[in-house]
Amino acid sequence: MSSPERGQILNIERKAAPLRQQVLEALRQAIVAGQLAPGQRLTERSLIEMLGVSRTVIREALRQIEAEGLIEIIPNKGPVVRQLSLDEAKDLYRIRAVLEGLAARLFAENAGPERVRELEQALAAVIAASQSENGQQAVDAKTKFYDLLYTGSASETLGTMLAAIHARVSQWRAVGLTHPRRAASRFSESVENLRLLVAAIRRKDGQAAEEIARAEVGKAAAEVMRLIDS
């Protein structure tokens, strides 16, 4: 890979969040979006040029995304972007279903009115994305919805676990939402499931929220596997 100009690929803005966290999020997103492709070697020098940050910050971020399973360290080669196997993806979706169901239950049981309103607004954005037929907009809207769901669960440990799982399955989620052969009815089905989920949360029905969330993950996994197999 040729070395890009500083900031050309991965843009880091100095915001309130710690710089290390911004770098971490930028690297995750670049891997998910395919800017850093499976099998690509990640040299410290090229990442420093891309991000315009210190070697120490780069090393800290690489250690974190290695722990999340997004990269692997190969002897005599260094950090390389991982490609998930189909079996691993199936396993991750099963784990995601359990954790996401728990997050939905906790949200329904514990979240206050303001959190519920935020989730309703995120659902409206998902619905708008479904009508726009813009794949990337759909990915972004659903990511925001689930981020709010995890935050509203009020469990830092659960949120951390789900963030790690989502980082590893995001490539597969994008396949399900943007693939040209995706089922035409799948996104509308997903939107309806999210409507039902929000309705259960409004009722503070934790059991129903958990069941709906787990069922939605199962359907998402089935669609991704269908596309990969075909």
**Per-position DSSP letters for 63-125, written without gaps between them:** HHHHHTTSEEEETTTEEEE----HHHHHHHHHHHHHHHHHHHHHHHHH--HHHHHHHHHHHHH
CATH 1.10.10.10 corresponds to the domain 19-81 = yes
Give me the mean pLDDT over the 58-65 stretch. Answer: 90
pLDDT higher for 194 or 2? 194
DSSP bridge pairs for 72 = 80
To the question of pTM greater than 0.75 for the whole model, the response is no
Q: Report the C-alpha gap between 149 and 7 in whole angstroms.
A: 32
* Residue 20 confidence class, pLDDT cut points 50, 70, 90: confident
Report domain 86-229's class.
Answer: mainly alpha
Q: Report the C-alpha gap between 133 and 228 in whole angstroms.
A: 21
One-letter amino acid of 61: A
Per-range mean pLDDT, top range of 37-41, 55-59, 120-124: 120-124
pLDDT higher for 123 or 226? 123
pLDDT higher for 173 or 55? 55
Residue limits of CATH 1.10.10.10 in the chain: 19-81
Q: Report the C-alpha gap between 97 and 205 in whole angstroms.
A: 18
Q: Which residues contact 200 (CB under 8 A, 6 or more apart)?
A: 104, 108, 208, 209, 212
Taking Cα atoms as reference points, which of 213, 147, 142 lies closest to residue 178?
142
Residue limits of CATH 1.20.120.530 in the chain: 86-229
**What is Dmax (Cα atoms) for the chain?**
56
